[in-house]
Structure 1
Amino acid sequence: MKSTIICLSLAALSATFTHAKTPILKDSFDYTSNSDFKSSDWTGGTADNKAFPYYATTDNGRNNVVILNNRFIYRDFGKTLTDSFSVNIDIQHNTSAPRQQWVLVCSEPDMNGKVEGYSFTWSSSDDRVFISRYSGDFSDYVASDRRGPGGKDLASALTGLNSLEANPMRVDQFETLTFAWDKSGALTLSAKSAGELLHTSDTSYSSFSRIYISGNANGYFDNLSVSTGR
């Protein structure tokens, strides 16, 4: 009887480790200059020939955040995710004018520069969130496009999230969004303050090696983490 109990316990322990989340990358966006950014693992894409983000502080200068202002940045994971991914990121808007902020998780570019993947967008122009599918080489990139770099919307919903009408001054004014995928094709977008916002399914893509982030002016990003497993 004792050996049976031990075997069952070891099996349960093995299952726990098998499904444990594994960190892939983490970044607090603690950059204050382009030289800081150049020495990071991020690469700046261009829109209107602007390759680098802007930088700002919150909490009386104790915390740094990134403002992308119609730019995009990207970073490789260093491995290919085929089982699952979960992206957590803090985002906020200054809604004095309509804004869109988006995140794309995708494959490595092929020989023609084409990537394939899934994105989410938080749009303050119509107070909605979107989950979308993208396949392309960014030649169709439009910074203000609410679907990220262009693509096909898979799901959308009203958010009810708290956008600001001024620049964020404190970390606790940011909304933490979680974007998740697993190999069944399930895609979800959740908010710390509101729970699940969107749930859909798509099996077009199943290999992910890179993350892109972009946003309009007065869109703020902080505290990114990417993990795999459950």
Structure 2
Amino acid sequence: MMSFNNISLSSIVWKQYQYKQKSYVGMYMSLMVLQLIAILISIEGTLYTGETTDVFTLNMHHYSADVAFFFTVIWGGISATLLTTKGYWVENFMFVTNRLSNHLANIMLLTTVSIVGGITALLTKYVNVVMHYMLRDEPIIQISTLESSELIAGVLAMILYILFACAIGYVYGIILQWNRFIAIVIPVLLVGLNFGLGYIGLYATMYDFYLQETSFLLFIIKVLVTITGLFGLAIVLSNRKEELK
């Protein structure tokens, strides 16, 4: 007697996600390497000032997670693009799956790595402070101007920006697989709008829309809606690619 088991989409997505978490551990390793490089680059702080009097010498080192955050954002975009390549895509045939479940598992994976990347990027700041304390034989007074609520908001913003970069990279990777000519034209066009054709306010508008938002709640909504739209576009383009074959 034959038995037919109804397998839900959620269970398939979850199994694929677990598999990707174990198989793509290299993504986390590359993240660690990049953030280690960022720590070494900013080991003296992102801003340094000094003052000397007859009584004392005061050296002020300003530490931030800016360098690690920048590296992590770039890493997120590149990692998301690599997920769309043929080598990664073929591995999904190990499962009873479809394109939608694969996309959803990828989105879950990118969300996870964005959370890890955002948290560890922020922690690099404190690693620098500890390293400074261990390597220098001088008294240290640590001053932080951030409250706990601001710290949480900063981490959340980092995570969203990294996921935003992942969504852009994922869409670009799908476009690259769908039509390589268009994938080449897009970055050339974006650069041309700013340099070749003159400043037309496109990037200033985007900057103001996402980075100058004073309401944190509205900022979250804007970024989440954009991320959802980008991942949705990737799914549609992927389906369209299969239909054209």
Q: TM-score range by the shorter chain?
A: under 0.3
Q: Which has the higher contact order (CA 8 A, sep 6+)?
A: 1
Q: Higher helix share goes to which structure?
A: 2
**TM-score by structure 2 length?**
0.22
**TM-score by structure 1 length?**
0.23
Q: Higher strand share goes to which structure?
A: 1
